[in-house]
Amino acid sequence: MSALVKLDQLTKHFDLGRGQRVHAVDGISLEIQRGETLGLVGESGSGKSSLGKTLMGLHDKTSGSVIYDGEELPKHYRAADFQRMASRMQMIFQDPYSSLNPRMTVGEIISEGLRGKPLSKAQKQKTVGEWLEKVGLNAAHASRYPHEFSGGQRQRIGIARALIMSPEFVVCDEPISALDVSVQAQVVNLLNDLKTSMGLTMLFIAHDLSMVRYISDRMAVMYLGALVELGNAKDVYFQPRHPYTEVLIASNPEPDPVTERERASTTIQGEIPSPVNVPAGCRFAGRCPKVMQVCREQTPALLPLVDEDRLVACHLYSQ
């Protein structure tokens, strides 16, 4: 397997003025292998979506680089860059209500990406029809408007819009969190089927840990702009190593009353701090149940564990 996407110290800060900066993404390095699904989890405010958007070029990079298939992507995207990359990487957005233009028909929304392609109108219409069928809608729906569809159907429209470009790489930013349970499974299965048939590589951003465990090959855990743990999805879920991952998974309820009754209420106190002017040392030190003196002084690096296919950024393992 070779890496399709490689992030090297990718950083995105938002300047608030008066010397205040939001450290949304802070020096993240990781590789996404061709054909894999990498799940990215963390609390809201941990920088998951910012990472996805910076990777896509929707945000300018503050520093660091994204290497896509051997080519370094520009720091600041121009219109031509978006056009060039559009057929290679695409994004599916969280909110199926606000991410579709209410004044465009579904056909116009889905075919918009094909605008620059040398295709006749009839060919485009045919492709749109095919894609509507592929995502489980009807070719006749092309002339309708987004408000005529339910949340799950709109998310399918968003998927068709992204995948009609036949990209190699897709960033899914919380694609199912606005949907009902029964519909979530429909959309996840659709994504999985399309991934197999098109050979997609996916970055799947979500806060639903059970769903990420199910859909991903590897799982990355983010806290306050930095990666704290990365490894095989099921291993990370069932044998978490970083104290933050442990807390996150201990808080995630399972649909089984017997397990839940045995669960100790070891919930974490406090909330994720503001990502403005992040202090020195480990970012999790203030909430960590296993905090040590060194954690408040030195920032732990993301290092591989011995005998395990796992990267963890924690001083507990840095001997």
Partner 1 sequence: MSALLSVDNLHVQFATYGGIVQAVRGISFSVNAGETLAIVGESGCGKSVTMQAVMGLIPMPPGKITAGTAHLRGEPFLGRSHLNGKAICGDEIGMIFQDPMSSLNPTMRIGDQIAETLEVHRGYSRSEAFARAIELLELVRIPEAAKRARQYPFEFSGGMLQRAMIAMAVACKPSVLIADEPTTALDVTIQAQILDLLKDIQRETGMAIILITHDLAVVARMADKVAVMYAGQVVEYANVDDLFAKSSHPYTLGLKLAMPSKESDETHTLQPIPGSPPDLFSPPKGCAYCARCPFAMQVCQREDPPAFTIASDHRSRCWLQHPQQSRPVSGLYRRTDEVTA
- Residues in the site for partner 1, rule: CB under 8 A? 43-44, 150, 152, 180-186, 188-189, 207, 209-211, 213-214, 234, 247-248, 250-260, 263, 265, 267-269, 271-272
Is residue 191 within 8 A of residue 10, CB to CB? The reply is no
What residues pair up with 65 in beta bridges, in sequence order? 8
Q: Is 78 or 263 the residue whose CB approaches partner 1 more closely?
A: 263
- Beginning with the edge strand found earlier in the chain, give each strand of the sheet holding 63-68 in spatial order: 20-33, 3-17, 63-68, 71-72
Q: Are 212 and 206 in contact, with CB atoms under 8 Å apart?
A: yes
Quickly list H helices, 164-289: 181-198, 209-215, 233-238, 243-251, 257-262
**Quick check: helix, strand or coil at residue 244?**
helix
What is the nearest approach in angstroms of partner 1 to the Cβ of residue 268?
5
DSSP classification of residue 69: T
Least distance from C-beta 181 to partner 1, angstroms?
Answer: 5
Structure tokens at 123: 């060919």
Q: How far is the CB of 232 from partner 1 (least distance, A)?
A: 12
Between 253 and 304, name the residue whose CB sits nearer to partner 1: 253
Instruction: Report, in Å, the least distance between residue 231 CB and partner 1.
Output: 16
Of the pair 88, 207, the CB lying nearest partner 1 is at 207
Shortest distance in whole angstroms from residue 251 CB to partner 1: 4
Q: Which is nearer to partner 1, 126 or 263 (CB)?
A: 263
Burial 126-156 (b: 16+ CB within 10 A, else e): ebbbebbebbebeeebbebebeebebbbbbb
Distances (CA, A) of 232 to 36, 122, 194, 205, 258: 11, 45, 22, 16, 27
Least distance between partner 1 and beta carbon 52 (Å): 18
> Which CB sits closer to partner 1, 79 or 258?
258
Q: Return the structure tokens found at 304.
A: 């591989």
Cβ 191 to partner 1 shortest distance, Å: 11
Cβ proximity to partner 1, 42 vs 129, nearer residue: 42
CB of 201 to partner 1, least distance (A): 19
- Give the residue among 53, 71, 70 at the shortest CA–CA distance from 10: 53
| Residue number with CB closer to partner 1 (10 or 248) | 248
Burial of 163 (0-12, 13-18, 19+ CB in 10 A): buried
- CA 307 to CA 47: how far, in whole Å? 30
Of residues 85 and 228, the one with the C-beta less far from partner 1: 228
